[in-house]
Amino acid sequence: MDFSIGDLSRRTGVKVPTIRYYEKEGLIEEPIRTEGNQRRYTERDLERLTFIRHGRDLGLPMPAIRELLDLSAHPDAPCADADRIASEQLQNIRMRIVQLQSLEAELTRITQSCTGTHAIADCNVLKAFGDHGLCKGEH
């Protein structure tokens, strides 16, 4: 029915001390405790923590995750707020996708021109990172 912090950790891939840290930070609810003061979690907690884990893996900043959690936590709230949050986050996500795609293109180009048989001296991987021309003109 419910499960321990160790079970939750195994099922989400989030380490035990990190789960306790998230609780302290208010990212997840304080769960019920056993007689002996140990935490016991539900499927709801599992879902929430899985979301946090995946969001972090994807490189979402912590505040974005907080907002998205808030959004999903109030499905009956007036829609205007939720809509604004969703829209803002949507913009972030799309920007992130575009960035990652340009990076993907760059790395693809680099690895394709590298057969693995020549010497480092002529390696495009290293040259690519040294070349300002490949920047998006930010500096």
Partner DNA sequence: CTTGAACCTATAGTCGCTATAGCAATTACA
Partner DNA sequence: TGTAATTGCTATAGCGACTATAGGTTCAAG
Q: 32 or 100: whose CB is closer to DNA?
A: 32
Between 55 and 71, CB nearer to DNA: 55
DSSP 7-51: HHHHHHT--HHHHHHHHHTTSSPPPEE-TTS-EEB-HHHHHHHHH
Q: Cα–Cα distance between 70 and 23 in angstroms, integer?
A: 15
Which residues, numbered 109-128, are part of the site for a second copy (CB under 8 A)? 110-111, 114-128
What is the distance between the alpha carbons of residues 136 and 133, in angstroms, rounded to a whole number?
8
Determine the interface stretch with DNA among 9-17, 87-95, 108-116, 118-126 (rule: CB under 7 A): 9-17
Q: Return the ∠ at Cα 55 (arms to 62 and 49), rounded to 5°.
A: 90
* Angstrom distance (rounded) from CA 71 to CA 102: 30
- Which residues are registered as beta bridge partners of 41? 3
| Backbone torsions φ then ψ of 31, nearest 5 degrees | -80, 170
Binders of DNA among 26-85, rule CB under 7 A?
Answer: 34-39, 56, 61-63
Q: Residues 47, 61, 62, 63: which binds a second copy (CB under 8 A)? A: 47
Catalog residues that contact a second copy under the rule CB under 8 A: 10-13, 47-48, 50-51, 53-55, 57-59, 68-69, 71-72, 74-80, 82-83, 85-87, 89-90, 93-94, 96-97, 99-101, 103-104, 106-108, 110-111, 114-130, 132, 134-135, 138-139
Catalog residues that contact DNA under the rule CB under 7 A: 4-7, 9, 15-18, 20-22, 25, 34-39, 56, 61-63
